[in-house]
Structure 1
Amino acid sequence: MRFRHIVLTAALLPLLAACGGDTDEKPAAPETPVLEQAYEPCRQQAEDTLAEIKTDTVADDIIRLEDDGTTVIVSTPEPGGDIASGLALDTARCVLDETGAPATISEKMGTASAMSGPGEDSYDGISAEWSYAAGVGNAGFNAYFRSE
């Protein structure tokens, strides 16, 4: 009896070994960077707002995804002004909301002025920088988000 058990085990061992190695599972896709995930809903929000105010400005003038999805740039579209700057700030706040930023960062951005100078903060592996410039040219609110 013992001999049969050894022979049966020896015969089944290669079959059992072959069962566990190969699977039809594909490797998991790399995770989409958090800023890339935030980009589309915030771009859509900007697009919707632009459609409401009936302007020739396009969302790509306000929000851009750069550096393989690790950077989002939000800027006031030309020619600037309060409405355009407010739209850029709303878009930056969307990025903050979509990435789970603390409310304090949104508040800091909202109080940016030409007199206060640029601001910066970081949270959950994301660095945020923002500024508000008054005057002609590059006037308005601008923000930069980068995955660290």
Structure 2
Amino acid sequence: MENESPYPRCQVDASWVTNSPFSGGGFVLELAPGTVTYGSIGMDQTMSPMHAEFTIFLYAMKNSLQLGVTSMSFESDCLQLNEFTHLLSLFTVFSISFIARERNVRADFLAKGARSKNSIFSHVDSVIPGWLVHKANIFILN
């Protein structure tokens, strides 16, 4: 027998296919047994299935809050979202905050440099990657 989730719960899913101008998303919000709200959205095609899944996840969260529900168990069959929640649970303190682009110059520079390499690779080190050393002055913060 499948393990039933506690209430309230919200199941989310996205539909994404290659070469389509649209993606879709849906959610089923169960506040209690027999009390169900259904939601769906059609949206412009997203960059990936993960983006579509995250978009419907945010949509479901907003709708839950509009209904005054601030305690929720979200469920998804998207493995990347499940990996995110698992990793999130391993932190003793976790926060996400917005910073202005001009305060995010180093990470932005690394991202653009990685994209311009046109290859699949990974680099994690306390040293600036050799292919970016010629522009290392960007890493000096004022």
**How high is the TM-score relative to the length of structure 2?**
0.26
**How high is the TM-score relative to the length of structure 1?**
0.25
